[in-house]
Structure 1
């Protein structure tokens, strides 16, 4: 059941509320006059919990239901109607992604406390919104042959998987007495964590990377952008499960899976990754961190680092191009977070602070990609962008009142 929500983010919606009653059925929120009741909010939260959704479910349920109202209102303005047959088909489609029949799907969720009407209502706005988006934007979503050619040069065989991870990097320097033993003992405690909040607390208190400031939480990342060593590890985790400790130079890495989803986006396989390392002698000192920040602020590309290193020992600047599988794990973990021109100061080498810069990724060209499939993906991406922008506009213009 945990995969259902991750594979169906476009179907998050509910039909307009029934006439308000007392208590659970009184309006808690109105959106352009259409009410959302406490009962609906509770049912949506129960549904999200059944799907294994991470995060603040109460807040998420409220936001989704507000968007649901806006989607249905947009469909109503266009005269769009959804039939019982459409709803049944939507339930069957959603259930099929969990290898269930529609009846099994409804019964399974019913066991988690979700009533059948809530499930029907969950399906409707996604169906409505699909028609709204097609009706408003289909004519603007055409794709040129040149765009398909460019996409083909980037398309790989990695599958459209992306992951939502949190990280903890524990310092474990052999030259520091007792640090390796302490890191191993702490890592053993962290691997037993099964909640996002507890992992974030450990990250805030102990992690050596800048992500500690946000509890170790990383943004959505394409799976094949991560170091190859992490692929089977991440795919073997359940939601909120923590990986076994991964030894890296001078440290121990742990990852918690917060989410996994398929996307329609083209996700290239990379033949090679180019990166630069600029070494600042003296380690992680305040002065070196300030100097690294200055360099980052005055450089946009790896080529710019040659100007920084001019007149210095040539060994202080290394520029490397390697297949992903050959990149050291600690460097690969940091590079996964970076776009071209971005930097990290999470690593050290000996007595040097490392200013790591991503130079660029070279995509492998796949000969198996079908042009029609690529064109369809590009159209869907373009429609998705239009849809997100339009929904944001609807919410900005809406009259939303909380009781």
Structure 2
């Protein structure tokens, strides 16, 4: 990727000597307002800097329009942060700059040196990073707690199942990363790309990720280390197939080519956990007891649904090898969220298999999965909120 950036630098130097500089000069004084966003000025200088910055990074789209759009949105982000009295420390901004430069396998001083050599001030880079970081705080403050509360237990169960069923699996992927504004392109690429050569060519042309120069090829990844939407998109695919567009937690879209799958370890009874629930309903054979059982059969779709019914409910996760023989035999034929009913001691006994999953040091934490699911939900809320801010803003052209 560093080679790509250097090549882009050389091309950019030629561009700067031509069309871009006169375009900026045509606007008048560099520090005169080009736009006002709710009274906050965007100067000609800021526009010229953003245009140079995006061109150097080989950003997709019509950059003359995209530079203006992104500046307007950054102003709206900063205004929203001011209203919430949110501030970033210098250390937070420096860390954000380091993370961004790291995408190009560079340290900040080296990255800034290339920017400045092509007429992009270090402050332009800093402002760009600051707007993105403070927006995260805005979204976290507005939607974070509600998003966590909105994650339902069945969603976590499903996510855990996706992750842990393939906990011993590594995948070799190629990727195409696209801005949030390029969903249509993501859909098109997902439907039309066939074969690694075509995928690599599209990655070099369209991807904004650090792997673009290598045709989107990335190293082996454990499925557990992938974002949940990415892991879910790979379910059911075989080598050579392309995923549907994936919405990443940061708002970008991605399309993946599954090049190879490797099962590294053997799943054994010692490494398999069985999550199961047992509900004892008194009064078997009585109208009341039989009525409760009938309701359970009719209304229960997952183990969490059992909480709504009277009776003695227990739920636990045990290694397959540690299950009592009779219990293991009763659970063996069940699929996830399937139940079996028996009678013992004058009571109905409802046994339900919640999930089977792989144990190990890499087993995902339930709360961590809840947080990741909440972050995915927040992405959509953030985009709608930004659209709302823009539609309500007073934008004046000077």
Structure possessing the higher radius of gyration over alpha carbons: 2
Equivalent residue for 1:95, pick from 101, 123, 141: 101
Q: Contact 1:162/1:261 (CA < 8 Å) preserved in 2?
A: no
Aligned to 1:393: 388
Q: Which ranges of structure 1 fall in alignment gaps of 5 or more residues?
A: 5-20, 166-216, 243-255, 273-322, 326-331, 338-364
Map of 1:147 onto structure 2: 155
Aligned mates of 1:397, 1:324 — CA distance in 2: 47
Offset at residue 139 of structure 1 (A): 0.7
Aligned twin of 2:76: 70
Task: Write the distance in 2 (CA, Å) between the matches of 1:336 and 1:393.
Answer: 28
Paired residues for 1:200-215 under 5 Å? none
Partner of 2:115: 109
What is residue 364 of structure 2 aligned with on the other side?
A: 370
TM-score when normalising by structure 2: 0.50
Q: Does the CA contact (< 8 Å) of 1:46 and 1:114 recur in 2? A: yes
Q: Which residue in 1 is equivalent to 2:199?
A: 234
**Helix, strand or coil for the counterpart of 2:396?**
strand
Number of the residue aligned with 1:271? 236
User: Deviation at 1:162?
Assistant: 4.1
CA contact (8 A) 2:190 2:244 kept: no
Asked if the contact 1:87/1:120 (under 8 Å) is kept, the reply is: yes
Q: Is the 8 A contact 1:162 1:222 kept in 2?
A: no
The aligned runs of 1:248-287 (5 Å cut-off) are 264=227, 266-267=229-230, 268-271=233-236
Q: Structure 1 pair 106/366, CA: closer, same or farther in 2 (3 Å)?
A: farther
Give how far 1:375 is off: 3.2
Partner residue of 2:90 out of 84, 90, 100: 84
User: What is the SS of the residue equivalent to 1:100?
Assistant: coil
Residue of structure 2 equivalent to 1:220 = 186
Per-residue CA shift, 1:120-164, capped at 9, x if unaligned?
111111121111111111111113332122234556757694456
Q: For 1:366 and 1:60, how far apart are their aligned partners in 2? A: 46
Matching residue of 2:50: 44
In the TM superposition, what are the counterparts of 1:332-371 in structure 2 within 5 Å? 370-371=364-365
Cα distance in 1 for partners of 2:39, 2:69 equals: 16
How far did 1:383 drift?
1.5
| CA RMSD, Structure 1 to Structure 2 (Å) | 4.1
Distance 1:376 1:139, change over 3 A: closer
User: Residues 264 and 380 of structure 1 are in contact (CA less than 8 Å); yes or no, is this contact kept in structure 2?
Assistant: no
Q: Please report how far the alpha carbon of residue 374 of structure 1 lies from its aligned counterpart in structure 2 after TM superposition.
A: 3.7
Name the structure 1 match of 2:23. none
Q: 1:50 to 1:264 in 2, by over 3 A?
A: farther
Change (3 A) 1:147 1:67: same
What is the CA-CA distance between 1:70 and the residue it aligns to? Answer: 0.5
- Please state how far the C-alpha of 1:61 moved relative to its aligned partner: 0.6
Tell me what 1:352 maps to.
Answer: none
Larger helix fraction of residues? 2
Query: Are the equivalent residues in 2 in contact too, given 1:31–1:66 (CA < 8 A)?
Result: yes
How far the C-alpha of 1:27 sits from its partner, in A, is: 0.8
1:40 to partner: Cα distance: 0.8
CA distance in 1 between partners of 2:244 and 2:141 (Å): 38
Q: Which runs of 5+ in 2 are unaligned?
A: 6-26, 219-225, 246-355
* Equivalent residues of 2:35, 2:396 under 8 A apart: yes
